Structure 1
Amino acid sequence: MKKSIIAFVTLALLVSCNKTETTGNLHITGNIKGLKKGTLYIQRIVDTTLVVLDSITLDGTSTFKSDLDLKSPEMLYLSLDRGTTNSLDNNISFFAEPGNITIETTLDHYLADAKVTGSKNNEIFEEYKKINMGFTDKNLTMLEQRFKAIKIQNLKAADSISALQDANIKRKYLFATNFALNNRDYEVAPYIALSEIYDINVKYLDTIQKAMSPKVAQSLYGKKLTEYVSKVKSQK
């Protein structure tokens, strides 16, 4: 009898420990080099508003961890409250998915030095952003050139640059569409469609929506894209 009680207590302790260790399906660990004191907030966007999922107070350490329950892969934000400023540079966006994710950065260059590992969706989105930045930089250069042309009243040059800008935007949208289609098996595909090219001709969004794998179609952004395409179609 005594042995049975001991065995029961041991089993209960093991179950209790396992529950503690497996809280949530998303486990975030990280390090902010140079940080000694501050508060971190892990947030998500709900109806255009940032909502806090977890807050972490750091005092004398630069490492942190958080365990969350994520129903579907989605874009989250790691916000740092330094106690002095609320700059946009204090917000690291990362495409979270169930599993283990590591976020490393520095206090001095919180946003620029950010490195996120452990999420395939985030890896794909970083690849997208890197290429997309080329279109953005090119547009900014042409915008400056057009402004100078208008300033010296060279309307012919201004119109020519404007046409090049339009062509650049079309290439940007076409790239985003093809990128989403090529990554149809990942939840980042409908996210790109919704956040980057929501105002493109609905036929392209419809193509992305129909190309999504069953798993992605049932994800947070997959369902949102399906709803959005249906809404746009109904307004025509």
Structure 2
Amino acid sequence: MKKISIAIIAITLLFACSEKKSENNLHLTGNIKGLKKGTLYVQRVANNKLVALDTIAIDGNSNFETNINLQSPEMLYLFLDRGVSNSLDNNLLFFAEPGDISIETNLENYIADAKVTGSKNQDLYYEYKKVDKRFQDESLTLIEKKFKAMKSKNEIELNGIIAKQETNIKRKYLYATNFAINNKDYEVAPYIALSEIYDINLKYLDTIHKSLSPKVVQSLYGKKLTEYIASIKKQQ
């Protein structure tokens, strides 16, 4: 009888631990070198607003840790309230997913020096942004050249720059489309479709959507992409 009671207690504790783990399936840890005092807010976008999921007080120890209930992989924000600064370099975007994720950065370059590890979606997003930056840099260069051509009223040069801008945009959108299709098994795919190329021709969004794995289709961004495509088709 005693053995049976012990077994029941053990099973109960096991289920309790499993339930707790599923409720808080994102274990987020990190360090902000140089931060002595401040407040961290883990936030998500809900109804076009940032909503706090958790608040972490920093007082003397720059390490932090929290557990968060995450139904599906999604982009979250780690907002740093420095208490004395209104700097825009305060809201760190990271692709959260169930499991252990670590964020290492410093107070001086909070966003620029941030390293997020433990998230496959984040790794892929880093990879995407690295190439996308080339298109962004090219766009800025062409804007500067366009301004100079307009100022000098050089129509031939201006038309050439406009053509290059259109080509750069097409290359950027094609890259994003191919990247999403090639990573159809990860939630970063519909996220890129929604955040980077939402205004692309509908057939490309449809192609991305049809390529997604069943698991990703049922994810947060998979469902949002489904809804977005349906809303466009309804307007046509």
TM range (shorter): over 0.9
Which residues in structure 2 correspond to 1:115-134 (within 5 Å)?
115-134=115-134
Which residues in structure 2 correspond to 1:79-90 (within 5 Å)?
79-90=79-90
Distance of aligned partners of 1:141 and 1:59 in 2 relative to their CA distance in 1, 3 Å threshold: same
Q: Which amino acid aligns with 2:17?
A: N
Question: What's the counterpart of residue 68 of structure 1?
Answer: 68
Provide the secondary structure at the position in 1 that maps to 2:102.
strand
* Alignment partner of 1:77 is 2:77: yes
Question: What's the counterpart of residue 195 of structure 2?
Answer: 195
| C-alpha deviation, 1:25, in angstroms | 0.5
Aligned-partner Cα distance in 2 for 1:67–1:58: 16
Aligned-partner Cα distance in 2 for 1:147–1:171: 22
Question: What's the counterpart of residue 145 of structure 2?
Answer: 145
Aligned-partner Cα distance in 1 for 2:61–2:20: 22
TM-score normalised to structure 1 length: 0.93
Aligned-partner Cα distance in 1 for 2:7–2:220: 42
Structure 1: gaps of 5 or more residues:
none
Distance of aligned partners of 1:232 and 1:10 in 2 relative to their CA distance in 1, 3 Å threshold: closer
Distance of aligned partners of 1:20 and 1:182 in 2 relative to their CA distance in 1, 3 Å threshold: closer
| C-alpha deviation, 1:158, in angstroms | 1.2
Question: What's the counterpart of residue 17 of structure 2?
Answer: 18
| C-alpha deviation, 1:235, in angstroms | 1.0
| C-alpha deviation, 1:48, in angstroms | 1.6
Provide the secondary structure at the position in 2 that maps to 1:87.
coil
Provide the secondary structure at the position in 2 that maps to 1:163.
helix
Aligned-partner Cα distance in 1 for 2:8–2:210: 53
Question: What's the counterpart of residue 207 of structure 1?
Answer: 207
Q: Which amino acid aligns with 2:111?
A: L
Distance of aligned partners of 1:15 and 1:184 in 2 relative to their CA distance in 1, 3 Å threshold: closer
Q: How many residues align?
A: 235
Residues 28-48 of structure 1, C-alpha deviations (whole Å, 9 max, x = no match): 000001111000000001122
TM-score normalised to structure 2 length: 0.93
Structure 2: gaps of 5 or more residues:
none
Aligned-partner Cα distance in 1 for 2:181–2:19: 40
Question: What's the counterpart of residue 38 of structure 1?
Answer: 38
Provide the secondary structure at the position in 2 that maps to 1:89.
coil
Q: Which amino acid aligns with 1:63?
A: N
Q: Which moved more, 1:82-91 or 1:39-48?
A: 82-91
Residues 160-196 of structure 1, C-alpha deviations (whole Å, 9 max, x = no match): 1011001100110010000000000101000000000
> Once the two structures are aligned, what percentage of the paired residues are identical?
61
Q: Which runs of 4+ in 1 moved over 3 A?
A: 6-21
Provide the secondary structure at the position in 1 that maps to 2:231.
helix
Question: What's the counterpart of residue 226 of structure 2?
Answer: 226
